[in-house]
Amino acid sequence: MAQKLVVGNWKLNGSLAANDALLGGCVALVGVDMAVCVPFPYLAQVGSCLTGMALGAQTVSEFQSGAYTGEVSAEMLAEVGCRYVIVGHSERRTLFGENNVTVGRKTVAALRAGLVPIVCVGESLAEREAGQVMEVIGRQLDAVRECIGVQGLSRTVIAYEPVWAIGTGRAASADEAQEVHAGIRRWLAEHGAPAEEIRILYGGSVKADNAEALFAMPDVDGGLIGGASLVARDFMAICQAAMANGGG
């Protein structure tokens, strides 16, 4: 893998003033790819002041245009400068009724518009305790593969986000993350995808003090960062850790 990718997921946070202050403390680093996925209304503001960092959104409609009140299409996101879009985040799956089928369709929409979908997968605590981690993730990946094929998979980024680690302060250990990332890479290879070229990010309570250990793992190609991406100093420290472990 050339260099790592660190993506901030701002979730439902921000204001014009707060975004300015946050971005004022962030600088693009050489040797790591950086991106921020921001709420729709702030795409223009954030896009206009990013230099050396990519812009992304946090979800996308499966539809291209028409009578779908409240939806935002992938083409619209591309037109306003997005490179990435997160699809299938566990908060969208559990709070907003998304499932493997809709996630597949959204991934199709993103690719159609030339966006890079960041496809989120991950197990709940109950599923982990039942020993079903790769079974659950395999189903999530399969639903996407059925929609976009192996060719499509090669144009995605996968984010492994164990549900029990998101926003809880309890990140997966570096070894736990590595084990699942290796499993995902194996799954990709077994299904004929160019597994070594597909980035697999880890997300779930990544902080400045655990980023280094996570990014040192051979199959962890970067991170999807929630809470810590809202504090410039923390986000930059995480990006520095990714830079120091680039080429993993």
Rule CB under 6 A: choose which of 88, 117, 138, 227 binds ligand PGA: 227
Size of the site for ligand PGA (CB under 6 A): 13
Residues 6+ apart with CB under 8 A from 208: 228, 233, 234, 237, 238, 241
Question: Binding ligand PGA by CB under 6 A: which of 85, 225, 238, 241?
Answer: 225
| 82 φ, ψ (degrees, to nearest 5) | -75, 145
User: Among residues 205, 215, 220, 221, which is the contact residue for ligand PGA, using CB under 6 A?
Assistant: 205
Which position has the token pair 């998979």? 153
Backbone angles phi, psi at 115, to 5 degrees: -85, 160
Q: Hey, which residues between 63 and 102 contact ligand PGA (CB under 6 A)?
A: none
Collapsing DSSP states into helix, strand and coil, what is residue 8? strand
166 binds ligand PGA (CB under 6 A): yes
Amino acid present at 46:
V
When the beta carbons of 9 and 156 are compared against ligand PGA, the nearer one is: 9
DSSP assigned state of 39? -
Among 122, 204, 222, 246, binds ligand PGA (CB under 6 A): 204
Residue 219 binds ligand PGA (CB under 6 A):
no
Q: Looking at 62, 89, 91, 123, which residue is catalytic?
A: 89
Q: Are strands 200-203 and 116-121 parallel, antiparallel or unpaired?
A: unpaired
Q: Is residue 89 among the annotated active site residues?
A: yes
Residue 167 near ligand PGA by CB under 6 A: yes
* CA atoms within 13 A of residue 55's CA, in its CB half-sphere: 20
Which residues participate in catalysis according to the annotation?
89, 161
List residues near ligand PGA by CB under 6 A: 9, 161, 166-167, 203-206, 224-228
